[in-house]
Amino acid sequence: MAVFTLLVMPLSAGAEEWDVSSEHYPIAVPPLPPDAMEEEQSQTFTGVVEWVDLEGGYYALDGYRLIADTEELESCLGHLVRVRGFISAEPSIYMVPAIKVEEVQRIQPGETVSLIGELVYEDLEGGFFAVKGYHLVSELDEGELSKYLGRQVQVRGSITEEVSIFMTKAFSVVWIQPIDEAVDLPVVEVDPLAGLCPVEAVRVLPRRLLVDGKEEEAVRPLQRGDVLMVPLRRIVESAGGKVHWVGASQTIHVALPGRTASFVIGEGEAELNEEGVYYFRRNLIRLARPAQLIGDTTYVSADALSSILGFMARESEPDVLDLVSPGALKERLQTKEPAEKERQTLVGLVVQMDDGEQPRVLLQGGPMASGEPLLVWLYFHEDTKITWAKGEAAQSADLAVGQQISAQLSGPMLTSYPARAGADSIIILSDVSLWCSGRNH
């Protein structure tokens, strides 16, 4: 059993402080929040219980020495388990990090988990690939698996009860990848341009409408109740975009720089897909009013111009709607001076909460290159700015499982599974709406 070095770095460290040679630290240890090691925090760990024959021996889980009832650990030896406990800072003769165990549960067949370890080939009854004693059952051919032979890998799947001629524990594989494989993170740029604001649904009927400084005299918005309705095709095409109408389904498909969208006549939601953003499900965004077909013209509520199509409005007189298109915004952003430090912003779903001494949420993002969803433990503290999508202040108590959030990271994030990072700011997005170009919908 290898002895791993526990590398702890503050999230506030500069980029140059994270240049750690993989030769000396072959396994990436995720950054912990400030003072994380000073106080005990309950955490959950998943892995195979192993026996390390060193200085009298001890039970271990993925490099951590387990402090728990010996008989209980002995009954779990060689099995995939979930351990709840906290990292102990007490010194010991073993010189490895330890977990004070509060609870141990065996992973049940059919439960989807990750199995991490060296991929080996067992030459028995024709041979099979294995990780941590589990025979891998996979539709991948041997050539595909062979390229990972001898490497530390992460295998996602579940324990299977199917009878095998190998008489060993079996693990049904969904996907497999090296644990040192880089994770492609969705990066959302925040628009720093002053004097721009999202288009609101409720506003006065404008006497003038401009797109990128050019007045659109033929564009005639309408008002339905308090909601301003605007002609979709004329505005999109004025911005250099494309519109495609599907009469059979009464669907309008829109393509603009960096995004595509679909509106359905009579539906109160529209689907948005932004370039470079990974979605865990269809990104449906509510409209102030359903899209309407009036004559041969499709009208959408004005809020859709920002929340879905990416337009912003210049601050001007109340009866003037001066729009800046997504393409124009992109060009203006490219001409600005680069920021001193680019920070990553993650968009995803809160799937778990931990209100311990160091509060954190488990964020599920879009699929990585392997197809597995991105999972990140986000730590936050009293200085983390938390707001609602419309900009109103929120509190950590407002965070809940099932919400979609946008989180700006406070520093680098190392690739473990789940990964860990700190959050400088968190935006709670309404329902399944996504944060659009750094602006609220």
What is the DSSP track for 335-363? Answer: HSPPPSS---EEEEEEEEEE-SSS-EEEE
Last residue of a domain, one of 279, 305, 335: 335
- Quickly list H helices, 51-155: 70-75, 142-146
Q: Are residues 300 and 373 in the same domain?
A: no
CA–CA–CA angle 392, 395, 399 (5° rounding) = 105
Residue 17 inside a domain? The answer is: no
Instruction: Using the structure block, give the residue that is written with the tokens 């520093």.
Output: 411
Among candidate residues 60, 76, 106, the one where a domain is terminated = 106
pLDDT for position 135: 82
Alpha-carbon distance of 348 to 279, in angstroms, equals: 8
Separation of alpha carbons 380 and 194, rounded Å: 28
> 172 by DSSP, 3-state: which?
strand
The pTM assigned to this predicted structure is 0.38
**Are 229 and 320 within one domain?**
yes
- In this structure, are 214 and 278 located in the same domain? yes
- Assess contact for 116 and 62: CB atoms under 8 A: yes
23 occurs within a structural domain: no
Q: Tens-of-pLDDT digits for all 441 residues of the chain? A: 444 433 344 433 333 333 333 333 333 334 444 444 444 557 777 888 889 887 778 898 877 888 888 888 888 888 888 888 887 766 667 667 788 888 888 888 878 777 888 888 887 767 888 888 888 887 777 777 788 888 888 788 888 876 565 567 888 887 777 765 444 444 444 444 667 888 999 988 898 899 988 888 777 899 998 999 999 999 999 999 999 999 999 999 999 988 999 999 999 999 998 886 666 678 889 999 999 999 889 999 999 999 999 998 988 888 889 998 988 888 776 654 444 445 577 787 888 888 777 788 888 876 665 566 778 888 887 888 998 877 788 888 888 888 888 888 877 765 566 777 888 888 887 544 333 333 333
| Helical ranges in 169-280 per DSSP H | 232-238
Q: Are residues 219 and 277 in the same domain?
A: yes
Whose CA is closest to 198, among 7, 389, 406? 389
Asked whether residue 76 falls in the same domain as residue 128, the answer is: no
Q: Taking a C-beta distance cutoff of 8 angstroms, is the pair 435, 408 a contact?
A: no
CA gap 251, 290 in Å, rounded: 12
Domain range for 160? 113-178
170 and 206: one domain? no
Please state the separation of Cα 408 from the chain's center in Å: 11
CATH classification at residue 48:
2.40.50
Question: 338: cis peptide before it, omega within 30°?
Answer: no
Q: How far apart are CA 206 and CA 413, in angstroms?
A: 46
CA atoms of 43 and 418, how far apart (whole Å):
12
Residues 139 and 161 in one domain: yes
Count of domains forming the chain: 4
> Cα-atom radius of gyration of the chain, to the nearest Å?
26
